[in-house]
Each structure stands twice: as C-alpha cells, then as structure tokens.
C-alpha cells in the first residue's frame, strides 16, 4: 500500500453551522468525529499532509461548526465539532447531539465516518453513541485508534484486538486501525479506506 497524494491537495472550503450554509448536498463526503483532544485534527492534517488544515476548525467561534474541506471537485472531508467537553452545559450537549444526529441521518453525500479515538481511552460512552447513530443512518464506520506511538507495539496491537472484539460483541459493524500522527503509521491504511468510500 502507498499513500495517495490526491489528499495532499485538500483545501479548506467553508465552516457551517448545521445544517445551514453547508455546501450543496452532492458528491461524496467522509466525516471525522471524535472527543476533544482525541487527536482528530492531527489525523486530518496527517491524511492531507497539510500541517494546519484542521487548525481552522479550532479557531474560536468555529469549534461548534462543521468544517468542510475539498479534496477534489466531487469529494469532501468534514471535520465535525469535537465532543466530550465535560463543562459544556446539558442543554448545549443536547443541542449538539440533535445537530449531529440530523446531519448524519439526512446528509445524502455522507458516505461514512472516521471515528477518532485516543488509543489510551477507546470506546467511551459518546463513541458508542456515535457508532449507534452511524448504524441507524446506514453509514460506514471506521475506527481510528490514534496516538499508537504512545504504547508499545504489543500493547497497541492488543488494544486493537480488544476494540475489535468489543464492537463485534455489540453487533457494531466497523473497520478498525492503528494510527499515529507522530510517525505517520497507518496513513496508507487510512487513505485506502477513504479511496474505497470516495471511489478513487
């Protein structure tokens, strides 16, 4: 497997509150979801080889927005708002959940979701919730265990195996992989899943 340089031409397209102002619902999209600090921006930046592409999503005022990145004329990557801020008021959490569910369920262009998890804290409640929404919306799901460099090779493989077993036991259909933004391991695998979903 080789990386696909097509993703290195990805450009920031726009930020949009859900669902207003989103780009027209045509072509194909893959969304990236994950708890805040899981390493989602680093995964997007590594996949696109654009150092600060996903930083736009972190500028104040944009953290609650969907951020759209254009890969080519017909394909987009979408950075979903990070979830899991314990301090966010209940009402806001609820609004976030509703907006997420609506987008996942009704966005025709959306093909699947890359769910980014810190390998040291995989499958939290909110990750299961996201997996559940994906299943209900008939979306493909790819679990990315990132920061794999934080563990020994053996420990990382064994966590990957455990995660696979857990999702299987819960009847969740998902592919899984290890990733590291530090040493770029898993990059080819991530590209290959994107290629598959986006038809490249």
Binding site for ligand GDP (CB under 6 A): 34, 36-42, 82, 146-147, 149-150, 180-182
Give the nearest distance from C-beta 24 to ligand GDP in angstroms. 27
The Cα 125–Cα 129 span in angstroms is 6
Query: Which lies closer to ligand GDP via its Cβ, residue 24 or residue 149?
Result: 149
Shortest distance, CB of residue 74 to ligand GDP, whole angstroms?
26
Q: What are phi and psi of 75, to 5 degrees?
A: -125, 140
| Terminal Cα distance for the chain, rounded | 14
Nearest distance, CB of residue 157 and ligand GDP, angstroms:
16
- Least Å distance, CB 23 to ligand GDP, is 22
Beta bridge partners of 176: 143
Q: Which CB, 36 or 192, lies closer to ligand GDP? A: 36
Contacts 24+ apart (CB under 8 A), 82-88: 82/34, 82/35, 82/36, 82/37, 82/38, 82/40, 83/33, 83/34, 83/35, 83/36, 83/126, 83/130, 84/35, 84/36, 84/37, 84/124, 84/126, 85/36
Shortest CB 42 distance to ligand GDP, Å: 3
Of 12, 6, 56, the closest CA to residue 190 belongs to 6
| Nearer CB in complex with ligand GDP: 40/76 | 40
Cβ nearer to ligand GDP, comparing 27 with 85: 85
**Looking at beta carbons only, is 6 or 182 nearer to ligand GDP?**
182
């Amino acid at each position: 497997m080789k990386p696909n340089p097509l993703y290195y031409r990805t450009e920031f397209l726009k930020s949009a509150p859900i669902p207003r102002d989103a780009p027209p619902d045509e072509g194909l999209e893959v969304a990236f979801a994950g708890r805040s600090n899981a390493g989602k921006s680093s995964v997007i930046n590594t996949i696109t080889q654009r150092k600060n592409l996903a930083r736009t999503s972190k500028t104040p005022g944009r953290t609650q927005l969907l951020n759209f990145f254009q890969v080519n004329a017909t394909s987009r990557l979408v950075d979903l708002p990070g979830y899991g801020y314990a301090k966010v008021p209940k009402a806001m959490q609820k609004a976030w959940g509703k907006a997420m569910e609506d987008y996942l369920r009704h966005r025709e262009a959306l093909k699947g979701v890359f769910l980014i998890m810190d390998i040291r804290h995989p499958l939290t409640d909110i990750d299961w919730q996201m997996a559940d929404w994906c299943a209900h919306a008939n979306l493909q799901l790819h679990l990315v265990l990132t920061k794999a460099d934080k563990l020994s090779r053996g420990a990382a493989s064994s966590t990957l195996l455990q995660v696979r077993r857990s999702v299987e036991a819960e009847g969740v259909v998902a592919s899984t992989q290890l990733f590291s933004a530090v040493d770029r391991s898993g990059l080819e695998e991530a590209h290959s899943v994107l290629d598959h979903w986006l038809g490249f």
